[in-house]
Amino acid sequence: MYHLTRKLFFCLLSSISIYLINTTTTTLAQPPFLHHYCENAANYTQTSTYQRNLNATLTALPTTNNGFGFYNLTTTQGNDTVNSVALCRGDISPDACRSCVNDSIVNLRQICPNQKEATGYYDNCLLRYSNKFILGSTRISLYHFRQNRQNSTDVDEFNGYLRPLLTKLRGEAAAGGPLQKFAMGNTTGPGFSTIYGLVQCSPDLSEIQCSDCLENIINRIVLYFNGKVGGRILVPMCNFRYETYRFFNQSARVIRPPPPPPPPPSTPPPTPSIPGATTPPGIKNNTTQITIIITVVVIALVVIFVASLCIFMRLRKKKRQTTPPLTHENGHTETTNISTAESLQYDFITVKAATNNFSDENELGRGGFGTVYKGMLGNGNRIAVKRLARGSDQGDIEFKNEVLLVAKLQHRNLVRLLGFSIEGSERLLIYEFMPNASLDQFIFDPTKRTIFDWEKRYNIIKGIAKGLLYLHEDSRLRIIHRDMKASNVLLDEHMTPKIADFGMARLFKTEETQGDTSRIAGTYGYMAPEYAMYGQFSVKSDVFSYGVLLLEMITGQKNQYFQIGESLEHLLSFAWKSWRDGTPTNIIDPALKVGSGSMHDIIRSIHIALLCVQENVIDRPTMATIVLMLNSFSITLRVPAEPAFFIRSNTSPEMPLLHEYSSRSRSSQYSMNEVSISDFIPR
């Protein structure tokens, strides 16, 4: 008993001190943003006009509420202009809105201490300031999305319910008028579920701008979180969110279209009173005499209260330590538990034994960077081991760092790099093992290819596109594959395509010496002309290779050995001629013609492939657009021009070429467990 009392006493003391600390620090510590962005292109200096202007603007901004949670203030002094806007979610009470804007102002200034332009998003509001014009601007430079981890059971069914809801809300919000463009609602979902949706535009957008902005981000559902039961995309001037639970205040006052006379802005919405919470269950001051029993009861209640408070605080503390904020939401797969390169390091002897001393019968394949062996670890786990050819100039530390970075690239459509091993000049990369070998062994095999109907091929085509998009856009490293081809796509037991050999240029760095046959290579026939001829590569050279691969999937024939009747013709030129002459079905694999695949979809895929292999780099779509085009049949495709035909010389088709290499790290202003995509609107 004494022990318990003492514990309670200390707990009481510590709760009081925690309370004190909390109250003294509330004005300093704002909750973290969901996402923020500091534009590093333009900075101001301390005590500059811009800083003075910014201080004045942000101080006055909270007073400019238009009555519906939209704040805007522009201040010009000298030749420096500061534009600022804040926008609260439409269902938020005025009090919560004010405090959110207040928090944003303090927080954003701390996070972006000297940038002229910055944006911060909270659940309830966003704040933005810039030296450039903001009002009415629709330029989107960054999409931020967050997704619910949970998958829906049937993607198409789920989207079938979700899409009409969001379309309806989009129309409502766009028609909301100059004060507020916000809509929320629900619809029945699959089974007995309900899908809740919320959309909002900055009210300075016109109706059409708002509608376009929302359409643009809603179209990205298939791109960023197709099949998830919840998600949101935030851009500065519009956003949406959907979940299968109610996350908004349904009874909030919202402007409904049509709003013939818009309510006068001078009447702010009434401050809501929180029912119940403000009336404390005070002890009635009766004239009854105070008995010892009451005292005991009161003491007992206090003790119970303190005890439960302590338990609650502990639980909360525990919860805080183990779960990140917004536990139901998922940044992306980039969060890994890998903290050091050492945790990825495998013992060389073990790996050597696992591959039976790199025996020939364990050899899976040979590529420019080395030989791949299959292996089995002591615990029965199967692995694939790439034994790098000697000749990398990378130091051990640099190699480890690169492995660490590449191992963080995790995506359903990428072969996973599990670790590495170093011994002297020997370097091994350890990958997950793929039982079904590579795509070329199926698609170019006359018998195996017949089991690949259009549906299977289309899933593979889409999977590869998503994997490449992840490499290009999603990860903090911008990885250009540079050797995208059928043999670099592995299939797992469910025929899910996984891209192999990405990031090799990082893992196998060679000094650019004069004309030495380096192993950093592309493959003839898949290479974009600018890459093959001038060694210039970009994400668009991967797009070119993807287009060739797509045509191979449709024709079932290798690019280099495309056969029509007796003659060999280049796949691209034949595809183009067939397309131009209005006979695109000529190039379709006969096995597909008898299947159930829609001829229309197949021809559309030929169309996409032809856009990918355009000679002019800027005419090729990005992977983001390709994924959109593959998933949404409502997107109209441009008419392709004649593609680039790469004239093959007499060299062996798989011969590697020498190319310069450079790798670009993307700016690391985003935290690892959030997903941000820098992506411009596809046209």
- One-character DSSP codes across 623-676: HHHHHHHHH-TTSPPPPP--B--PPP-SS-TT----------BPP--S-TTSEE
Smallest distance, Å, CB 39 to ligand NAG?
9
When the beta carbons of 333 and 510 are compared against ligand NAG, the nearer one is 333
Task: Answer for the pair 454, 596: CB distance below 8 angstroms, yes or no.
Answer: yes
Smallest distance, Å, CB 184 to ligand NAG?
9
H/E stretch holding 81: strand 80-88
Residue type, 217: I
Smallest distance, Å, CB 508 to ligand NAG?
29
Residue type, 455: E
SS3 618: helix
Q: How far apart are CA 568 and CA 583, in angstroms?
A: 19
Smallest distance, Å, CB 483 to ligand NAG?
26
Smallest distance, Å, CB 250 to ligand NAG?
6
Q: How far apart are CA 335 and CA 408, in angstroms?
A: 8
Residue type, 660: E
Closest listed residue to residue 537, CA positions, set 483, 485, 498, 477: 483
Burial class (CB in 10 A: 0-12, 13-18, 19+), 368: buried
- One-character DSSP codes across 471-526: IIIISSB----S---GGGEEE-TT--EEE-STTHHHHS-----SS---S----TTT
347-351 long-range contacts, Cβ below 8 Å, gap at least 24? 347/421, 348/421, 348/422, 348/423, 348/426, 348/428, 350/377, 350/378, 351/375, 351/383, 351/385, 351/421, 351/428, 351/430
Smallest distance, Å, CB 427 to ligand NAG?
30
Q: How far apart are CA 208 and CA 189, in angstroms?
A: 29
Residue type, 134: I
Q: How far apart are CA 458 and CA 155, in angstroms?
A: 16
When the beta carbons of 204 and 329 are compared against ligand NAG, the nearer one is 204
When the beta carbons of 69 and 556 are compared against ligand NAG, the nearer one is 69
Closest listed residue to residue 41, CA positions, set 100, 98, 114, 95: 114
Smallest distance, Å, CB 60 to ligand NAG?
9
Task: Answer for the pair 521, 485: CB distance below 8 angstroms, yes or no.
Answer: no
Q: Name the H helices within 292-407.
A: 292-322, 348-354, 396-407
Smallest distance, Å, CB 63 to ligand NAG?
9
When the beta carbons of 64 and 335 are compared against ligand NAG, the nearer one is 64
When the beta carbons of 202 and 541 are compared against ligand NAG, the nearer one is 202
Smallest distance, Å, CB 80 to ligand NAG?
7
When the beta carbons of 181 and 519 are compared against ligand NAG, the nearer one is 181
**Residues β-bridged to residue 200:** 182, 239
When the beta carbons of 44 and 646 are compared against ligand NAG, the nearer one is 44
Give me 132's structure tokens: 């450039």
When the beta carbons of 190 and 272 are compared against ligand NAG, the nearer one is 272
When the beta carbons of 221 and 428 are compared against ligand NAG, the nearer one is 221
Task: Answer for the pair 66, 204: CB distance below 8 angstroms, yes or no.
Answer: no
Q: How far apart are CA 116 and CA 133, in angstroms?
A: 12
When the beta carbons of 135 and 599 are compared against ligand NAG, the nearer one is 135
Positions in the binding site for ligand NAG (CB under 6 A): 40-41, 43, 47, 51-52, 55, 59, 62, 64, 66, 70, 72, 78-79, 93, 102, 105, 109, 114, 135, 149-151, 185-186, 194, 203-204, 246, 249, 251-253, 272, 412
Smallest distance, Å, CB 372 to ligand NAG?
25
> Is 7 labelled a binding residue?
no
Please give the backbone phi and psi of residue 550, each rounded to the nearest 5 degrees, phi first. Answer: -60, -45
Angstrom distances, CA of residue 318 to CA of 30, 31, 199, 286: 21, 18, 34, 43
SS3 69: coil
586-593 long-range contacts, Cβ below 8 Å, gap at least 24? 587/551, 587/554, 587/555, 588/554, 588/555, 589/449, 589/554, 589/555, 589/556, 589/557, 591/449, 591/450, 591/452, 591/453, 591/556, 592/453, 592/454, 592/457, 592/554, 592/556
Please give the backbone phi and psi of residue 490, each rounded to the nearest 5 degrees, phi first. Answer: -100, 155
Q: How far apart are CA 237 and CA 213, in angstroms?
A: 8
When the beta carbons of 141 and 295 are compared against ligand NAG, the nearer one is 141
SS3 37: strand
Q: Is 483 a catalytic residue?
A: yes
Smallest distance, Å, CB 674 to ligand NAG?
18
Q: Would you say how long the chain is, in residues?
A: 683
Catalytic annotation, pick one of 91, 204, 483, 501: 483
For 104-203, list the strands marked E by DSSP: 115-121, 125-130, 142-148, 181-188, 194-201
- Binding-site sequence positions: 386
Active-site annotation, residues:
483
Report the binding-site residues for ATP: 386
